[in-house]
């Protein structure tokens, strides 16, 4: 309560409709649960309305995530239908889109289908992924042998998307336009979040690191139930059986969980279930690499997915800094952890690229 009053004073005469929004966005604080996590209307975030900044800041400091709600012309159920239909396509059709590690006949290394392998001995992660990036075409490379490894890398990361060609034009066209639009919505949310943080923390140079997004990636994910329980999938923290191991992300994440429960965030030393994103919302959280760049003012929340007794679907979207963004120093010039090995984001990505279909970054 005190905090809300203080906030009103800080915001002063920001807007007449503020009091109602405060009630909506900032419910009672409690040690348990996530009722206090901010729910920010999409339009206000995207238009750069500064009233959202302290809510986002507070939620990101305290919980490490917030929700973007009321997204116009967006229906998660439509995405979920296409996502399910895609994974239910005949294996040959998915194989045509598989990354070359899984189908040597294909040129695509990162974008496309990456089937999960249910091998309890070697794979803790068991998920099917369809990976979509920002590029539909490539620029010119010129003579690769005359380019530095990093310049070649810059070319490589522009790998164009692959899209299903099933012979059902309604499906093929619908799938592509739905996820191209979905990509754009998430990218806009990611960038608007970065701008809000830049305003709130008075770090005006931060958005310059996110102007290009060569390496942003959206993953359609299907977690099937495993045939056998993997004994390594029990949490070291509290012994709960997990479907996705405990981790923190690296960059900026925009997540859809649809109506699938299971996502748990660490808060007050306890993993607690995060409300689902449902039909018309997204969860936004920040990863360690980007939090380091902003001098760790936010919480890079540790999270996991508990084992559930159904096939679970989700869509992740990661917005990283642009290829040549310096990541070795924070906004105030402090050395970052990534800076021990890398000076720009492109170098960091190079080390993670081979693993992208399996790991979060």
Least distance CB 314 / ligand NAG (angstroms): 18
How far apart CA 33 and CA 22 sit, in angstroms, is: 19
- Contacts of residue 106, defined as CB under 8 A and 6 or more positions apart, other chains included, come to 96, 97, 98, 99, 100, 112, 162
Decide: is 168 part of the binding site for ligand NAG (CB under 6 A): yes
- Contacts of residue 121, defined as CB under 8 A and 6 or more positions apart, other chains included, come to none
Tell which one of 24, 62, 85, 135 touches ligand NAG (CB under 6 A).
85
Looking only at residues 292 through 351 of this chain, which bind ligand NAG when binding is defined by CB under 6 A? 309
What order do you get walking across the sheet with 242-247 strand by strand? 242-247, 303-306, 263-267, 270-273
Q: Residues 321, 209: contact at Cβ < 8 Å? A: yes
Quick check: helix, strand or coil at residue 241? strand
Stretch that binds ligand NAG, among 1-9, 61-69, 73-81, 102-110 (CB under 6 A): 73-81
Q: Which of 319, 360, 315 is nearest to 134 (CA)?
A: 319
Decide: is 176 part of the binding site for ligand NAG (CB under 6 A): no
Residue 173 or 355: the one with the smaller Cβ distance to ligand NAG is 173
Residue 74 or 237: the one with the smaller Cβ distance to ligand NAG is 74
Decide: is 77 part of the binding site for ligand NAG (CB under 6 A): yes
Stretch that binds ligand NAG, among 128-136, 163-171, 212-220, 240-248 (CB under 6 A): 163-171
Tell which one of 160, 174, 207, 326 touches ligand NAG (CB under 6 A).
174
> Angle CA(100)–CA(102)–CA(104) in degrees, nearest 5?
45
What phi and psi, each to the nearest 5 degrees, are found at residue 245? -65, 160
Decide: is 259 part of the binding site for ligand NAG (CB under 6 A): no
Tell which one of 78, 201, 245, 358 touches ligand NAG (CB under 6 A).
78
Decide: is 75 part of the binding site for ligand NAG (CB under 6 A): yes
Count Cβ atoms within 10 A of the Cβ of residue 274 and give its class: 0-12 exposed, 13-18 middle, 19 or more buried. buried
Site of tokens 């981790």: 247
> Angle CA(178)–CA(179)–CA(182) in degrees, nearest 5?
90
Least distance CB 238 / ligand NAG (angstroms): 17
Stretch that binds ligand NAG, among 56-64, 72-80, 118-126, 236-244 (CB under 6 A): 72-80
Decide: is 171 part of the binding site for ligand NAG (CB under 6 A): yes
Tell which one of 145, 170, 227, 231 touches ligand NAG (CB under 6 A).
170
Decide: is 14 part of the binding site for ligand NAG (CB under 6 A): no
How far apart CA 35 and CA 28 sit, in angstroms, is: 7
- Tell me which residues touch ligand NAG (CB under 6 A): 75, 77-78, 85, 168, 170-171, 174, 309
């Amino acid at each position: 309560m005190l905090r809300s009053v203080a906030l009103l004073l800080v915001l002063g005469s920001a807007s007449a409709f503020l009091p109602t929004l405060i009630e909506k966005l900032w419910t009672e604080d409690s040690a348990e649960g996530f009722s206090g996590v901010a729910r920010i209307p999409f339009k206000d975030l995207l238009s750069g309305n500064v009233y959202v900044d302290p809510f986002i800041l507070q939620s990101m400091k305290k919980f490490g995530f917030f929700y973007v709600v009321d997204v116009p012309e967006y229906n998660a159920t439509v995405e979920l239908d296409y996502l399910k239909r895609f994974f239910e396509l005949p294996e040959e059709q998915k194989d045509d889109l598989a990354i070359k590690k899984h189908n040597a006949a294909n040129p695509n290394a990162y974008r496309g289908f990456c089937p999960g392998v249910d091998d309890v001995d070697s794979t803790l992660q068991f998920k099917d992924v369809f990976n979509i990036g920002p590029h539909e075409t490539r620029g010119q490379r010129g003579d690769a042998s005359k380019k530095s490894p990093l310049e070649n890398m810059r070319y490589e990361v522009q790998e164009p998307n692959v899209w299903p060609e099933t012979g059902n034009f309604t499906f093929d066209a619908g799938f592509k336009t739905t996820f191209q639009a979905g990509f754009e919505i998430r990218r806009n949310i990611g960038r608007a979040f970065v701008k809000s943080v830049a305003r709130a923390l008075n770090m005006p140079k931060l958005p310059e690191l996110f102007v290009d997004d060569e390496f942003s990636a959206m993953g359609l994910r299907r977690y099937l139930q495993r045939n056998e329980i993997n004994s390594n999938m029990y949490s070291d923290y509290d012994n709960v059986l997990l479907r996705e191991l405990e981790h923190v992300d690296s960059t900026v994440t925009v997540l859809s969980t649809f109506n699938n429960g299971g996502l748990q965030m660490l808060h007050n030393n306890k993993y607690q279930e995060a409300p689902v994103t449902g039909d018309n919302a997204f969860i936004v959280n920040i990863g360690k690499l980007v939090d380091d760049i902003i001098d760790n003012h936010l919480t890079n929340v540790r999270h996991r997915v508990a084992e559930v007794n159904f096939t679970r679907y989700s869509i992740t979207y990661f917005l990283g800094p642009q290829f040549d963004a310096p990541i070795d120093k924070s906004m105030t010039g402090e050395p970052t952890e990534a800076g021990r090995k890398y000076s720009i984001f492109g170098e960091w990505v190079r080390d993670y690229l081979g693993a992208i279909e399996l790991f979060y970054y």
